[in-house]
Structure 1
Amino acid sequence: MKRNLLAASVAFSVITLVGCSEKEPELTTSIQQASYGIGLNMGQSLLQDGLENIDTQALALGMEDALAGTEARVSEKDLMAAFGELQAQAEERASAESTEQLETNTAFLAENAKREGVITTESGLQYEVIESGDAEGAQPKASDVVSVHYEGKLTDGTVFDSSISRGEPVDLPVSGVIPGWVEALQLMRIGDKWKVTIPSDLAYGPGSPSPVIPPNSILVFEMELLGIQQDDE
């Protein structure tokens, strides 16, 4: 792990210092709230980097020394070696978790494919029709912009995004979304409402656009194609 990444993450100790004090400070002033926010954001970043086993007391001590301008208690050489070991541990843990998640995904998709009404495409995308539009209705092309209502969930039912909850559909370019959506939209006709199960490799894969969506997540969308902008021109 690059040292500057960990150095930036040291701000997480703002929140750990609270736990080390005898009395929790109030979070009433703008400085207190901003400080808490910095600690919260950095803590979330550490978790995303797989560093949930950080020694928070040592972390707080490092920040105290930095702010006081005192000499570092650990040599540069030892720090670099420690960073390297921590990075290796994080990568090993992430690899194991990724393998386990992919195995879970395979089992989930295999079971889902057995359900009545589920259609699996050649790419592995799975969908089932909730409501059908006009059988002769228009189908989007990759170059089109479409209007869609949707709700996205993880396989455990956690909702991570929903135009339905916001009460307003979205307009988006067919070619500008995740591969699973690109494929599904071009199979749908105006008025179709489908439940679409998107394998992780057709979604965000090992990456993640949000802490709400873990790496290698299968995404489940209820989506309705409301219109194609070019049809209205």
Structure 2
Amino acid sequence: MKTLIAAVTLALTIPAALAADMTEDQKTLYAVGLFMGRQAAMFNFTPAEMEFVKKGLSDSVAGGKPAVNLEEYGPKIQQLAMQRHQAMADKAAADGKAQLEKAAKEKGAVKTASGLVYLSVKEGSGAQPKANDTVKVNYRGTTPDGKEFDSSYKRNEPAEFPLNGVIKCWTEGVAKMKVGGKAKLTCPAALAYGEQSPSPDIPPNSTLTFDIELLSVTPAPAPAKAPAAPAAPAKK
């Protein structure tokens, strides 16, 4: 899958102060809870709903008699998941439309035919990448509500990848930059992840904003030349 997130590890982390008081086994158990929580994120539970979820988990682990028949209510889980997924997608689509309109009104912003809103923050003076080149960048990604879902700055490690191997918004937007430049890309869902949700932090149909700094460009290798055809034998 050609996604930016595939190139970036969204790690399960434990707050340092809490981890310091944990054994390795306790950290593993804590990670189990994080994993289960991320799996449940698609439901977007309210605090009140979460109390019923925790009660069901507790009763299941304890092995007591459940309050409901799982064979009866189990099939309804998928129905609930689909309803919550659609609700999140609808909200993200509405938020994204407003975000694109706002971004397009910024001074210097350009909306391309694809729907990408490109804003040059600082013009570069170096090489300009082609679609099949490899680029190295620093970047920060946010959702329409301003939530940061990824940052190479926080990892203190720039990302490097073939420009034609990431989301369409990046392939188009970064190709407009030159080394040393900085730009803001506001990417409609169709140019990002569409109806997919690559992480709990990115709802389906999300419009995403990326602040990007182009650090270097490595040209793609030139295609190998075909061997020359052998010369025809001379006539006798």
Aligned in 2, Cα 1:156/1:74: closer, same or farther, shift over 3 Å? Answer: closer
Measured against aligned partners, the alpha-carbon deviations of 1:157-213 in whole angstroms (never above 9, x if no partner) come to 333222234444332110111111011122223333211111122112232333333
Aligned in 2, Cα 1:106/1:123: closer, same or farther, shift over 3 Å? Answer: same
Q: Distance in 2 between matches of 1:173 and 1:186?
A: 11
Aligned in 2, Cα 1:119/1:37: closer, same or farther, shift over 3 Å? Answer: same
Partner of 1:42: 36
Unaligned 5+ segments in structure 1 are 1-26
- TM-score, normalized by length of structure 1? 0.72
- Post-superposition shift, 1:101? 1.9
Partner of 2:77: 86
- Post-superposition shift, 1:82? 0.8
Aligned in 2, Cα 1:231/1:73: closer, same or farther, shift over 3 Å? Answer: closer
Select the residue among 76, 101, 105 that pairs with 1:110.
101
Select the residue among 195, 199, 203 that pairs with 2:188.
199
Structure holding more helix per residue: 1
For 1:151-170, what aligned pairs fall within 5 Å after superposition? 151-170=140-159
- Post-superposition shift, 1:73? 5.6
Structure 2 residue 90 is the aligned partner of structure 1 residue 96: no
Contact 1:192 / 1:225 at 8 angstroms: preserved in 2?
A: yes
Q: Distance in 1 between matches of 2:23 and 2:212?
A: 44
Q: Distance in 2 between matches of 1:231 and 1:90?
A: 43
Select the residue among 52, 58, 61 that pairs with 1:60.
58
SS state of the match for residue 227, structure 1? strand
- Post-superposition shift, 1:149? 2.2
Higher relative contact order (CA 8 A, sep 6+): 2
Count of residue correspondences: 198
Q: Distance in 2 between matches of 1:188 and 1:197?
A: 15
Q: Distance in 2 between matches of 1:93 and 1:192?
A: 40
Unaligned 5+ segments in structure 2 are 1-20, 223-236
- Post-superposition shift, 1:231? 8.2
SS state of the match for residue 152, structure 1? strand
Partner of 1:150: 139
Partner of 1:131: 122
SS state of the match for residue 136, structure 2? strand
- TM-score, normalized by length of structure 2? 0.71
Contact 1:51 / 1:90 at 8 angstroms: preserved in 2?
A: no
Select the residue among 110, 115, 119 that pairs with 2:110.
119
Provide the alpha-carbon RMSD of the alignment: 2.8
**Regions of 4+ moved over 6 Å:** none
Partner of 2:231: none
Contact 1:130 / 1:195 at 8 angstroms: preserved in 2?
A: yes
Aligned in 2, Cα 1:221/1:83: closer, same or farther, shift over 3 Å? Answer: same
Q: Distance in 2 between matches of 1:112 and 1:228?
A: 27
Q: Given residue 145 of structure 2, which amino acid in structure 1 is its aligned partner?
A: D
Identity of aligned residues (%): 37
Measured against aligned partners, the alpha-carbon deviations of 1:41-90 in whole angstroms (never above 9, x if no partner) come to 2123112355663432232222222xxxx8x7689xx5233111222122
Q: Distance in 2 between matches of 1:51 and 1:156?
A: 18
